[in-house]
Structure 1
Amino acid sequence: MAMPLPAPDEAAPGGPPDHEGATVQETFELFSASAPKGWRVELIEEEICVVPPANGEHEEIVTEVVEQVIARRTDQRLRSFTGIGLSLPGAGDAVRVIPDLVIAPKGSFDDREEWHAPAPVRLVAEVTSTSTASRDRLQKIRAYARAEIPVYLLVDRETAEAVVCSDPVADDYAHKSVHKLGTAVPLPAPLGFVLDTSAF
């Protein structure tokens, strides 16, 4: 679900932006500029979403995935990135997302840009939170598939499942495998290893 911009005393000095009459894209830019540190502002399917900082359990899962990718990757060029902004194609306005985790070759984001093209991305991962679960399950599947990101890993804490989406076709993935958390989860190429979710 979309969240409103934080109240003025929580946001940057001056409070939330005055966005009356602005386009969705302009409003998104204003919200991004005034969001408090640690909050993420995303634009997906013409909806602006303001996401609060993640809780500890969420970050423990992300860290566990990162450590396993580094230890088990078959391509030693691959690196893990958190906090990377991606600019994706959309049905209308461009989509702006900040995935929980991005896997891409070293040097893929070696610039000063805030938003990056998805071409080098090999995998994106999202770990659901109360405020993001619905969007992670629906809109982000469409967004990542349209961008032709090879693998989308969704760790759904509410259903206690890991969903591996691969082979993007149009605005969906041709293959989706669902695994209970606590089991071994095979990740397809270009990752090519089995993710152990027993620590999730």
Structure 2
Amino acid sequence: MRDDIDTGGDRTVTAAPAFETATWEELVEIWQNLDLPNAAWRAEIIEGRVVMTRPPENAHNLIADLVHGELRDSIPKEWAIFQTSGIKIPERKSLCTPDLVVIPRSDVLAGKSSILADKALLVVEITSRGNADDDRTRKLWGYGHAGIPLYLLIDRFASDGPTVTLFSQPTGGRYLHQHRVVFGEPVELPEPFGITLDTSQF
């Protein structure tokens, strides 16, 4: 059994391939019992891999705060916005912790450490250098399979410059529609949100 550990820069610390053949129940148990360096670190299960991610940099957190604020001012009181909640996608052997997730309060079970992904209305991921590929591919695939209506990918490290992509209309495990803009252009979040997200401060 071997763990590939890389703690350099803004990279993820990945425990693999040690747990890739584990069952879903075993993966969740490993996730629940991980000894993280401190509360700021994040652990996820992505396509059967247990991944630990170091705390993000300030630029990442500032974007999360801006998006959180715009959503908070617009959504109904019956909805919650979480920045630290794991969402389960058992069919993809994934338990992701989006940078933001919007979910009806009635679908959040007290005493649980995660929520079912198919209850989410919107997930937001903000890329870091070390995990951008997961956000662009594996999480996109997982969120599509879970049927999450809207996935907002804020890609600070896109090859052609920082962009924001809204994925919508999940069908058969993938999103049928995507709308991509560069930082500074507005992004329309359709109903049930019905708001325009200002990206000029990203």
Normalising to structure 2: TM-score of the pair?
Answer: 0.82
- 3-state secondary structure, aligned to 2:175: strand
Alpha-carbon distance, 1:70 to partner:
1.3
1:67-78 mapped onto 2 (5 Å cutoff): 67-73=69-75, 75-78=76-79
Q: In the alignment, what sits opposite 2:120?
A: 121
Point out the more displaced range, 148-157 or 42-51: 42-51
Selected match of 2:54 from 52, 55, 72? 52
Partner of 1:131: 130
Name the SS of the counterpart of 1:176 in structure 2: strand
Structure 1: gaps (5+ residues): 7-15
Question: What is aligned with 2:96?
Answer: 97
Contact 2:187–2:196 (CA under 8 A) maintained in structure 1: yes
1:142 counterpart residue number: 141
Count of aligned positions: 185
Match of residue 156 from structure 1: 155
Letter in 2 for 1:111: A
User: Aligned partners of 2:73, 2:141: CA distance in 1, in Å?
Assistant: 30
Computed over aligned residues only, the root mean square deviation of the Cα atoms, in angstroms, reads 2.5
> Can you give the 5+ residue segments of structure 2 that lack an aligned partner in the other structure?
8-14
Residue in structure 1 matched with residue 10 of structure 2 by the alignment: none
Which runs of at least 4 in structure 1 moved beyond 4 Å after TM superposition? 19-22
Deviations 1:120-164 (A, max 9, x none): 210000000011100000001110011110000000001210000
Q: Which moved more, 1:23-32 or 1:138-147?
A: 23-32
SS in structure 2 of the partner of residue 33 of structure 1? coil
Contact 1:145–1:171, Cα closer than 8 Å, also in 2: yes
Q: Distance in 1 between matches of 2:110 and 2:152?
A: 26
TM-score (norm 1): 0.83
Q: What is the SS of the residue equivalent to 2:129? A: coil
Secondary structure, aligned partner of 1:49: strand
- Contact residue 141 and residue 171 of structure 1 kept, 8 A: no
